[in-house]
Amino acid sequence: MGPRVSADQVASPVAAASHRPRLVVCSLGVVSYPLALDRQRDLVAARQAGDTPDHLLLLEHPAVITIGVRGRAHPHHLLASRATLRDEGIEVHDVARGGDITYHGPGQLVGYPVLSLKPDRCDVHRYVADLEEVLIRTAASFGVEAGRVPGMTGVWVGNDKLGAIGVRLSRWVTSHGFAFNVSTNLDHFRFIVPCGLEGRGRDIAGASPRDTADPGGGRGGSRCRVRACVWPTRRLLNRE
């Protein structure tokens, strides 16, 4: 999706004090999970203090499995030992977001909105529904018909999951976010029960056909995916 970035490039969360846009969109390329987590923590603190505007971080992770609050109560959803995963080049991290267990890796567009929901959007369910709508509209822009499944979080194509969502809120400032499968290595999902959903389809990449979600391929296709995700986000969050 883009070049790797150094710690220096993602270290500072504070934007210029004057003429700040309502939503700062950062397309960061490939970023390690710990570095992205640190960036979010810094941004959350700055947003809570009123020192920076809302941000949307769009990036890609090297192969990593993350285990949310609910996932730690179900350790059997991790189907391989951490030693085996290390040999496969897959990191494992326990994280503070909601949700169960999920996989991130190359070919997956990850979005981390750091937004203040005050004063008029202090509704977790509405926020999650808005993120689902962002992914549904993004898929539609590439001709992929995605939707919701009653009682479940995320975005689906039939019985298969196209986009996962897991969020954290602190003093009504959001972090973590969504993962949108485009050309993800689906073989790595064999190491987990994705989102703890036993027997419920599988994660899919790019729907069918795969190139529907990656027009042109390569870096140009990646830029198209990023742009297609930005505009629904701006519109739904009233930050145009």
Owning domain of residue 168:
17-236
The verdict on whether 195 is a catalytic residue reads: yes
pLDDT at 96: 83
Residue 171 neighbours by CB distance under 10 Å: 10
Q: Please indicate, yes or no, if residue 147 is contained in any of the structural domains.
A: yes
Residue 8 neighbours by CB distance under 10 Å: 7
Determine how β-strand 64-67 pairs with β-strand 91-94.
Answer: parallel
Burial of 49 (0-12, 13-18, 19+ CB in 10 A): exposed
Per the structure, the count of domains in the chain is 1
Per-position pLDDT tens, the chain of length 240: 555 554 455 545 554 444 444 899 999 999 999 999 999 999 999 999 999 999 999 999 999 999 988 778 788 899 999 999 999 999 999 988 877 898 999 999 999 999 999 998 999 999 999 999 999 999 999 899 999 999 999 999 988 889 999 999 999 999 999 999 999 998 999 999 886 665 555 556 655 433 333 333 343 445 555 555 555 555 555 554
Q: Please indicate, yes or no, if residue 7 is contained in any of the structural domains.
A: no
Q: Please indicate, yes or no, if residue 8 is contained in any of the structural domains.
A: no
Q: Please indicate, yes or no, if residue 108 is contained in any of the structural domains.
A: yes
What CATH number is associated with residue 167? Answer: 3.30.930.10
Catalytic, out of 122, 195, 224, 229: 195
Instruction: Specify the pTM.
Output: 0.78
**Closest to 45 in 3D by CA, of 12, 94, 91:** 12
Q: Please indicate, yes or no, if residue 5 is contained in any of the structural domains.
A: no
Structural tokens at position 121: 């959007």
Q: Please indicate, yes or no, if residue 1 is contained in any of the structural domains.
A: no
CA distance 40 to 124: 18
Structural tokens at position 205: 């990449």
pLDDT at 217: 37
CA distance 162 to 207: 7
Q: Please indicate, yes or no, if residue 203 is contained in any of the structural domains.
A: yes
CA distance 169 to 156: 24
